[in-house]
Amino acid sequence: MREFMNITKALADENRVRALLALRKGELCVCQLTELFGLAASTVSKHLSILYQAGLVESRKDGRWMYYRLPCKEAPATVRRAIDWVAQSVNGAPRVAEDAARLKKILAMDPVELCKRQCGK
């Protein structure tokens, strides 16, 4: 029951759902997600932390940068079903299409330069 409650709480925010959908394209740096959502890096990191605690994303650190991805195939069935349900439920929503178009442009950018620009360095 606890796992279910953590997942439903994590999915109760539009930005966290959008992050899950963006991660279907593969691993993303916090800087890329910050650019996509137009939110402060700290806000994006908090959303990702909640998704991580629910088991909906995995993370790795590379130097100063944090990267997130959807869980591997060995993730609990509840997690895999929740991610599939989210993707199916919002398929075709205008916001999802807008995010996909913006993400395509963001992925064409150099992530190191993007992160440096956001940090003001």
Q: Are 37 and 82 in contact (CB under 8 A)?
A: no
Q: What is the pLDDT of residue 120?
A: 63
Q: pTM for the whole thing?
A: 0.90
What is the rounded CA–CA span in Å between residue 28 and residue 47? 14
Q: Are 68 and 28 in contact (CB under 8 A)?
A: yes
What is the rounded CA–CA span in Å between residue 9 and residue 98? 25
User: At 73, is the pLDDT very low, low, confident or very high (cuts 50, 70, 90)?
Assistant: confident
Query: Which tens digits make up the pLDDT trace of 15-60?
Result: 999 999 999 989 999 999 999 999 998 999 999 999 999 999 999 9
Please report which residue ranges of 1-110 form alpha helices under DSSP H: 2-10, 14-22, 30-37, 41-53, 77-90, 94-107
- Hey, what domains does the chain have and what are their CATH numbers? 2-119 (1.10.10.10)
Residue 12 has pLDDT above 60, yes or no: yes
Query: Which tens digits make up the pLDDT trace of 86-116?
Result: 999 998 899 999 999 999 999 998 888 887 7
Q: What is the pLDDT of residue 64?
A: 81
